[in-house]
Amino acid sequence: MRDLFTRNRLIGLAIAAVIFASDQFVKWLVIGPLQLRERYVIDLLPFFDLRYTENRGVSLGLFEATSAEMRWVLVGVTALIAIVVAVWMMRERLLGDIIGLGMILGGALGNIVDRTKFGYVIDYADFHIGDFRPFLIFNVADAAITIGVVIILARSFFVSEKAEATV
């Protein structure tokens, strides 16, 4: 049984690492070879563009860092959240929850690196229907965090712990 829990935690760490690496790689492509900083927009599909955005706030652009001090406060708060998620993941036993936590951790680490290196998070994914944008412009890390939170919430509402603990 102990081997199962160790395996689950390793899966969570692997998910976090893959999301972190994917996020950083795509951001490198966007600002490097694709030169999106200079081009600003690359139209790909009628409903999806790459659109360069510097997000100086947190979720939904809230709590915008308007100074160097605020930038480092956001880095610190986000790092603290990442530490809490990592500890939670290492104490968790159920694979479904560990998967969600791994996604959140990988995404948080990706955005922490951006805010540390640049002072803002690089966002670029722009889904839209004409001029209607149901989502803010986001990145791989943001998507992973959102999906991870949805997994954790859905599991807390709909999955019986007893049923899963026996599997």
The residue extents of the domains of the chain are 2-165
Q: What H or E segment, with its residue span, contains residue 154?
A: helix 140-158
Task: With beta carbons less than 8 A apart as the criterion, state whether 100 and 149 touch.
Answer: yes
d(CA 121, CA 55): 5
Q: Is 93 helix (H, G, I), strand (E, B) or coil?
A: coil
* pLDDT tens-digit series, residues 84-105: 999 999 999 999 999 999 999 9
Of 134, 145, 155, the closest CA to residue 78 belongs to: 145
Neighbours of 101 (CB within 10 A): 26
Strand intervals (E) in 66-120? none
CB-based contacts of 31, cutoff 8 Å, min separation 6: 37, 52, 122
Catalytically active residues are: 123, 142
The pLDDT, as a whole number, for residue 39 is 84
In tens, the pLDDT along 8-42 reads 999 999 999 999 999 999 999 999 999 998 888 99
Nearest by Cα to 61 from 133, 147, 131: 133
pLDDT band at 167; cut points 50, 70, 90: very low
Q: Is the distance from CB of 27 to CB of 139 less than 8 angstroms?
A: yes
Q: What is the pLDDT of residue 166?
A: 42
Angle between helices 2-31 and 140-158 (to 10 degrees): 150
Cβ atoms of residues 16 and 98 within 8 Å: no
d(CA 117, CA 5): 35
